[in-house]
Amino acid sequence: DQQVKQNSPSLSVQEGRISILNCDYTNSMFDYFLWYKKYPAEGPTFLISISSIKDKNEDGRFTVFLNKSAKHLSLHIVPSQPGDSAVYFCAASVVWGNTPLVFGKGTRLSVIA
């Protein structure tokens, strides 16, 4: 029972263009959403988050959009850089703080120079 779904296993984007990574969820109780980035042989690192009271959160080149009615969120990276090539995980939680996160399977982003 996959509560957080990332339906695109991989994505290739040219350097300088926009990367859009998508995530859908089924549990309507989720109120907090996070994106993590993972390089090979390393642990995931936190990128950006959003709570359900917002529909957009921006941090530099990274923007997360949340559509609660559609149970959908997306991560936009503009402009994409070769160093952004990694696996991106979407994660969600019902409550804020001290709770396990539910992760999607990840999307492998390749930014081509």
Partner 1 sequence: NAGVMQNPRHLVRRRGQEARLRCSPMKGHSHVYWYRQLPEEGLKFMVYLQKENIIDESGMPKERFSAEFPKEGPSILRIQQVVRGDSAAYFCASSPYKGDSGANVLTFGAGSRLTVL
Q: Which residues bind partner 1 (CB under 8 A)?
A: 6, 32, 34, 36, 41-46, 49, 89, 93, 96-106
The nearer residue to partner 1, 46 or 58, going by C-beta atoms, is: 46
To partner 1, the closest distance from the beta carbon of 47 in angstroms equals 10
The nearer residue to partner 1, 25 or 36, going by C-beta atoms, is: 36
To partner 1, the closest distance from the beta carbon of 98 in angstroms equals 4
The nearer residue to partner 1, 85 or 93, going by C-beta atoms, is: 93
To partner 1, the closest distance from the beta carbon of 105 in angstroms equals 4
DSSP string, the chain: --SEE---SEEEEETTS-EEEEEEE--TT--EEEEEEE-TTS--EEEEEEETT-SEEEETTEEEEEETTTTEEEEEESS--GGG-EEEEEEEESSSSSSPPEE---EEEEEE-
Cis bond upstream, residue 79 (ω within 30): yes
To partner 1, the closest distance from the beta carbon of 70 in angstroms equals 21
The nearer residue to partner 1, 49 or 79, going by C-beta atoms, is: 49
